[in-house]
């Protein structure tokens, strides 16, 4: 997904874009730097599927039809031109759209390299990698080049970009808002997973771990609703955000009959959260059989202790005589 989106608020307000439209256009503006160009009778267009928008902008929408309606709104606003082939949506930026990357004096915020000037009318331009690697960015230079904030994912559009980060934060520029995303999940999150899509959400990580482990065990997604969200919030508060997701995933390994009978209900996880935390730390599963084994072992140990104590008492009595 796209990690960072930069929005020109001045132009968004000037063009009458709402926050969703501005977010989508900010993403589209950088697409020509990496997506596939297609030559048509009307000129060069670029591929951009509805599924790709949903994949890269989960904060925007999770419905392809909604993504297409937003594309149509940008087309009606005169910022993009839409076309299509038999199986994919095509777009290109208009002359008006190029103003998104311009300062008040008309110059480019992020200048186009001389060798790419000929393509200015079709695509927005930015350096694919900073011109001076390893040095502190100069005022006005690009610290995170266009589409370098997309994680490695196998897509049908030929993307292969890396997320770059550094100790220096970009200096704020007038009218721009940067929406930063958190670290990408270790595995790709299925698009049909219910629940929160925003990784900055308090319950995202614990829910994703619980839901993925749940589906692996039961071949179905768990139900997401307001009650579930509240329970996971309480779980994070009790165990801590750093470990709650580990405990939630480990909980699905438990094979206790009572837990399985309830299909690993979150009610059970929340009621005995600290117990399941201990089981995760010790990498053990506590069920009826394990409890009986421990009880049996403890009983044998206690009987042995009593026998030893009786033997000691007998020896003391023998020596006293």
Give the domain ranges of the chain.
4-180, 204-282
At residue 109 the predicted structure's pLDDT band, cuts being 50, 70 and 90, is low
Give the model's confidence band at 140: pLDDT under 50 very low, under 70 low, under 90 confident, else very high.
Answer: very low
Q: How confident is the model at residue 80 (pLDDT cuts 50, 70, 90)?
A: very high
Structure tokens that stand for 34 in this block: 């990496």
pLDDT digits (tens, 9 = 90+) for 174-217: 444 444 333 445 667 888 999 988 888 899 999 999 999 999 99
CATH 1.10.10.10 at 4-180, yes or no? yes
**β-pair type (80-84, 43-47):** unpaired
3-state secondary structure of 33: helix
Mean predicted lDDT score pLDDT of the chain: 75
Tokens at 278, concatenated: 């201990």
pLDDT band with cut points at 50, 70 and 90 for residue 284? confident
pLDDT per position as a tens digit, 143-179: 444 444 444 334 444 333 333 334 444 344 344 444 4
More confident residue, 87 or 29: 29
Which pLDDT belongs to residue 155? 40
The 3-class secondary structure across 208-238, one letter per residue, is HHHHHHHHHHHCCCCCCCHHHHHHHHHHHHH
pLDDT band at 128 (very low <50, low <70, confident <90, very high): very low
Residue 288 in tokens: 């009826």
């Amino acid at each position: 997904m796209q990690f960072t989106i930069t929005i020109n608020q001045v132009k968004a307000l000037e063009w009458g874009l709402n926050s969703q439209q501005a977010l989508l256009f900010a993403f589209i503006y950088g697409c020509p730097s990496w997506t596939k160009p297609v030559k048509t009778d009307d000129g060069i267009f670029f591929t951009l599927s509805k599924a790709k928008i949903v994949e890269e902008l989960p904060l925007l929408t999770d419905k392809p039809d909604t993504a297409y309606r937003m594309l149509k709104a940008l087309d009606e606003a005169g910022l993009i031109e839409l076309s299509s082939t038999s199986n994919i949506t095509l777009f290109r930026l208009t002359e008006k759209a190029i103003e998104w990357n311009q300062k008040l004096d008309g110059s480019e915020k992020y200048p186009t390299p001389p060798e790419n000037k000929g393509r200015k009318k079709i695509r927005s331009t930015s350096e694919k990698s900073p011109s001076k690697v390893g040095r502190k960015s100069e005022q006005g230079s690009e610290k995170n080049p266009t589409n370098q904030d997309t994680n490695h994912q196998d897509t049908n559009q030929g993307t292969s970009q890396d997320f770059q980060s550094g100790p220096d934060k970009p200096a704020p520029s007038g009218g721009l808002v940067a929406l930063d995303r958190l670290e990408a999940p270790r595995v790709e999150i299925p698009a049909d997973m219910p629940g929160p899509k925003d990784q900055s959400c308090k319950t995202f990580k614990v829910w994703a771990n619980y839901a993925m482990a749940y589906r692996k065990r039961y071949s179905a997604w768990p139900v997401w609703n307001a009650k579930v969200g509240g329970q996971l919030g309480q779980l994070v508060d009790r165990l801590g955000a750093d470990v709650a997701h580990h405990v939630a995933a480990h909980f699905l390994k438990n094979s206790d009959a009572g837990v399985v009978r309830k299909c690993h209900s979150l009610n059970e996880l929340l009621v005995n959260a600290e117990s399941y935390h201990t089981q995760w730390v010790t990498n053990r599963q506590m069920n009826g059989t394990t409890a009986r084994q421990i009880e049996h072992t403890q009983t044998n140990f206690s009987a042995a202790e009593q026998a030893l104590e009786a033997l000691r008492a007998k020896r003391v009595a023998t020596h006293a005589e």
